[in-house]
Amino acid sequence: MMSWSLKQALLGCMFLFALSAQATADALSDAQRAFDAGDYVKAATLYLPLAKKGNPVAQFNLGVVYSQGLVVLQDYREAIQWYLLAAYQGYAPAQVKLGVMYAQGEAVPQDYKKAIQWFQLAADQNDAVAQLNLGDMYAQGHGVLQDDDKAVQWYRLAANQSNALAQYKLGQAYAVGQGVAQDGEAAHRWFNLAAGNATDAVTHEKYIKQRELMAKQLTAQKIADARQEALVEAKVEAEQAAKVEAANVNVPQAAEANALQVAAEKTDQVQAEAADKQISDAAKINANQETHALAAAVPPVIVEQAAQTKNAGKDKAAKFKAKKKVKPAHSKTKKKSQAKAKENSKSKKAAKTTVTKQSIKLSVNTAKVIAVKPLVIVPKVKVDQAIPVEAAAKVEVGQAVSAVAEAAPKAEIDYLILTPDKATPKVQPAVP
C-alpha cells in the first residue's frame, strides 16, 4: 500500500500543477487581451516566460510579434525559431504559418513541397485554414499536379467549418463548373453563406455582390431554359404530327403491298407443289419401266427350264407315292433286293443336282425374278447358245437377275453358277 506521506506528496504535486496550469492560462489570457488591445510590449512580456517554459501558444504568438516587428525591429529569423518550436509540438497555427512562409517565399526560399508538408500536418488536425491552403495548392498546381477535383474536396472540408473564404471559393467552383458540375443554385447558396461568415466589411460586401450577380444569372438562365424547353416541346409535337400524317397516307399502300406479297407467296407455293408432283410422277414412270424391262429380260430358256424342273419334280413325287402304296408280296430276299435298289436310287438322286437352300423361283406366267442368296445353281440344261460376259445376268446379294445375254457360240452347260463377286459365268461338268 502507498504510504501516507507519498500520497501527500503526490497530492501536493497535483495541486501545484493545477495552480501552475491555472497561472499559465491566466497569463495567456492576459497576454492575448494585451495583444488584442494593441499593447504589444505587455503582450510580449507575458508571452516570453511562457514560451521559454515550452508553451506552444506563447511560442507561436511570440513568433508573430517578431515577424511583424511589433515591439522590436522585424526579425524573421527569431520568428521562424519560435514558429518551429510550436510547430514541432503539433500546434496547427504554427504549422500553417510555416506553410504560408514557404509557399510565398517569405523570409525563406520558396518551396512548395515543404509548404504542402506543413499544410498537410495541420489539415490532418482538421484545421480549416490548412485545408483552404491545400485547396489553393491543388487548384493552382503548386507542388502537386493541378487537380480541380481535389481542390474542391479541400475547399468543401474548410467550408463545412464555416471558413468564409473556402465557402466563397466553393461557390465560384459551382458557378463555372470547375471540379464540380455547374450549378447556379449551389453557387448562390455558398456565396450567401460566405457573406454571413465574413469577418470584415470589405469581404462581406464582396460576397454579397457575388451573390446578387448569381441571382440575376439564375433568373436569366431560368428564362432561357424555359424558352429552350418550349422550343423542344414544339419540335417534338411537330415530329409526332408528321409521323401520324405519314402513317395515315401510307396505310392503303402498305395494305396493297401486303396483299401482293401474300399472292406472290401463294403462287410460289403452287408452283413448288406442281414441280414436286412432276418429279414424283417421273420417278414412278421410271420405276415401272425398269420393272417391265426386268421382266422382259428373263431368257425363255430359263423359263422353260424352270417349268420342266417343276413338272419333273411333280412326276417323281407321284411315282414315289405310288410305289409306297404297293404292298410287298414277296419273300425277305425280295425285300432285301428292293432295299438295295432303294439305296441305289437314293444315291442316284443325291448325285443329281438340286437347288439347295435358296433356289430361283420363276413364275412361268409372269416371268418375275425373285431375290436369291449370293449363290445360284441352275440345273443341268442344254442350250443352243451360251450367255456371254458382256450381257451376263447381274446377281447381287438379295437381288435377282436383271439382264439377259445375247447370242453366242453353242455350248453345253452342265451347271451355271453365278456369284456376286465375279461377272464371268463358270462352266462345270455334270456330276455322273
Phi, psi of 418, rounded to the nearest 5 degrees: -115, 125
Read off the pLDDT of residues 383-427 as tens digits, 9 standing for 90 and up: 444 444 444 444 443 344 344 344 444 443 343 444 444 444 444
Q: What is the mean pLDDT of residues 363-372?
A: 41
Same domain, 171 and 305: no
Can you read off the three cell numbers belonging to residue 342?
Answer: 432303294
From 366, 413, 365, select the one nearest 387 (Cα to Cα). Answer: 413
Checking DSSP bridges between strand 381-383 and strand 376-378, what pairing results, if any?
unpaired
Same domain, 170 and 34: yes
- pLDDT score for 238: 86
Q: Is residue 237 part of a domain?
A: no
**Least confident piece of the model among 39-43, 124-128, 191-195, 321-325:** 321-325
Specify the pTM.
0.51
Task: Say if residue 239's pLDDT is above 50.
Answer: yes
Same domain, 168 and 305: no
Kindly report the number of other CB atoms within 10 A of residue 43's CB atom. 25
Q: Is residue 129 part of a domain?
A: yes
Same domain, 83 and 205: yes
Determine contact, residues 131/97, Cβ cutoff 8 Å: no
Can you read off the three cell numbers belonging to residue 391?
Answer: 450381257
- pLDDT score for 97: 97
CA 201 to chain CA centroid, Å, is: 63
Alpha helix positions (H), 298-367: 300-325, 332-351
- Provide the CATH number for the domain around residue 78: 1.25.40.10
- Confidence at 94, pLDDT banded by 50, 70, 90: very high
Determine contact, residues 96/119, Cβ cutoff 8 Å: yes
Q: What is the mean pLDDT of residues 351-359?
A: 44
Q: Is residue 199 part of a domain?
A: yes
Of 194, 222, 250, the position where a domain reaches its end is 222
Determine contact, residues 101/64, Cβ cutoff 8 Å: no
Torsion of CA 408, 411, 413, 414, to 10 degrees: 170
Task: Say if residue 258's pLDDT is above 50.
Answer: yes
> Which residue type, as a one-letter code, is found at position 238?
A
Rounded-to-integer distance, Cα 420 and Cα 374, Å? 6
Q: Is residue 325 part of a domain?
A: no
Same domain, 20 and 160: yes
- pLDDT score for 313: 66
- pLDDT score for 264: 82
Determine contact, residues 401/369, Cβ cutoff 8 Å: yes
Q: Is residue 156 part of a domain?
A: yes
Q: Is residue 239 part of a domain?
A: no
**Least confident piece of the model among 111-120, 189-198, 245-254:** 245-254
- Confidence at 432, pLDDT banded by 50, 70, 90: very low
Read off the pLDDT of residues 41-53 as tens digits, 9 standing for 90 and up: 999 999 999 999 9
Q: Is residue 240 part of a domain?
A: no
Sequence-distant (6+) residues with CB within 8 A of 135 are 150, 151, 152, 153, 154, 155, 158, 166, 169
Same domain, 144 and 58: yes
- Confidence at 21, pLDDT banded by 50, 70, 90: low
Which single residue is written with the C-alpha cell 431554359?
225
Of 207, 222, 237, the position where a domain reaches its end is 222
Can you read off the three cell numbers belonging to residue 225?
Answer: 431554359
> Which residue type, as a one-letter code, is found at position 280?
S
Same domain, 162 and 304: no
Of 188, 222, 256, the position where a domain reaches its end is 222
Determine contact, residues 371/400, Cβ cutoff 8 Å: yes
Same domain, 197 and 54: yes
Rounded-to-integer distance, Cα 171 and Cα 252, Å? 62
- pLDDT score for 324: 56
Q: What is the mean pLDDT of residues 9-23?
A: 51
Read off the pLDDT of residues 127-175 as tens digits, 9 standing for 90 and up: 999 999 999 999 999 999 999 999 999 999 999 999 999 999 999 999 9
Domain span holding position 385: 300-309+354-432
Total domains present in the chain: 2
Task: Say if residue 428's pLDDT is above 60.
Answer: no
Read off the pLDDT of residues 48-79 as tens digits, 9 standing for 90 and up: 999 999 999 999 999 999 999 988 788 999 99
